[in-house]
Amino acid sequence: MTEEIIIAGFGGQGVLSMGKILAYSGIMEDKEVTWFPSYGPEMRGGTANVTVIVSDGRISSPVLHEYDTAIILNQQSMDKFEQAVKPGGVLIYDPNGIIRPPKRTDINIYKVEGTRAAIEMGNPKVFNMIVLGGYLKVKPVVTLQNVERGLEKSLPPRYHNMIPLNLTAIRKGGEILEAMPKP
């Protein structure tokens, strides 16, 4: 199994940390992982993206031009990465701020209203975990138990009290995931 993922959105949305949690969780399952971020000007406010690869075997390139899954959190990223999903692949997006929804018919598209659900949960910051939960429902590359262990590893101890909230958010994402009908 090799899963090649791009997560893309605005800097500050938690794009890199979503990838990091996924990567840590992969390690907890004894998988090989690569986390390759866009760095530099992007992380200072513009668009940010991270490529995460989780595999049972040796990982070749950290740099990719097509992906099994794209997790899209803003319009610029949709414009950039919709076409980069492999045919038969998966595109998951949060509709908040998306004015041109994805149109491809040869991939599986899912919507996760993460921003709205996060506000309803009273903590807008966990929206990225809700979206991650949607992804893990579609592609259970790591178990929830290992995500919990991944969170313990990736978060400094002073934030460990936030882990239950994050896990609730991940479960929520799985519940509100919506498969978009193909036209």
Partner 1 sequence: MGELRLMKGNEVLAEAAVRCGCDGYFGYPITPQSEVMETLMELQPWTTTGMVVLQAESEVASINMLYGAAATGKKVMTSSSSPGISLMAEGISYIAGAELPCLIVNVQRGGPGLGTIQPSQADYFQAVKGGGHGDYKLIVLAPASVQEMNDFVELAFELAFKYRNPAMILTDGAIGQMMEKVELSDHKPRWTSEEVRQKWGSWATVGKVPGRPHNVITSLELDSGKMEVNNLRFQEKYRKMEAEEVRFEEIMCEDAEYILIAFGTSSRICQKSIELARAKGIKVGLLRPITLYPFPRQAVANLARRAKGFLVVEMSAGQMIEDVKLAAFDAGLSLPVEYFGRMGGILPSPGEVVEALEEKLIKK
| Residue ranges in contact with partner 1 by CB under 8 A | 20, 23-24, 27, 32-37, 39-41, 59-66, 153-154
DSSP SS3 for 123:
coil
Query: Measured from the CB atom, is 55 or 76 closer to partner 1?
Result: 55
The nearest distance, CB 55 to partner 1, in angstroms, is 11
Least distance to partner 1 from the beta carbon of 131, Å? 20
Shortest distance (Å) from residue 123 CB to partner 1: 26
- Closer CB to partner 1, residue 20 or residue 137? 20
Q: Please say which residue, 2 or 96, places its beta carbon nearer to partner 1.
A: 2
CB of 127 to partner 1, least distance (A): 23
Q: Which is nearer to partner 1, 58 or 103 (CB)?
A: 58
Distance from C-alpha of 28 to C-alpha of 5, rounded to nearest angstrom: 18
Q: How far is the CB of 157 from partner 1 (least distance, A)?
A: 15
Encoded tokens for 130: 């809700």
> Phi and psi of 56, rounded to 5°?
-80, -20
Shortest approach of partner 1 to residue 59 CB, angstroms?
Answer: 8
Kindly write down the DSSP assignment for every residue of 43-111, as one continuous string.
GGTSEEEEEEEEESS----S--SSEEEEEE-SHHHHHHHGGGEEEEEEEEE--TT-SS----SSSEEEE
Phi then psi for residue 96, to 5 deg, are -60, 115
CA distances from 32 to 7, 60, 104, 106, 119 (A): 18, 11, 31, 29, 35
Nearer to partner 1, 31 or 172 (CB): 31
Q: Which is nearer to partner 1, 20 or 111 (CB)?
A: 20
Partner residues linked to 55 by β-bridges: 2, 32
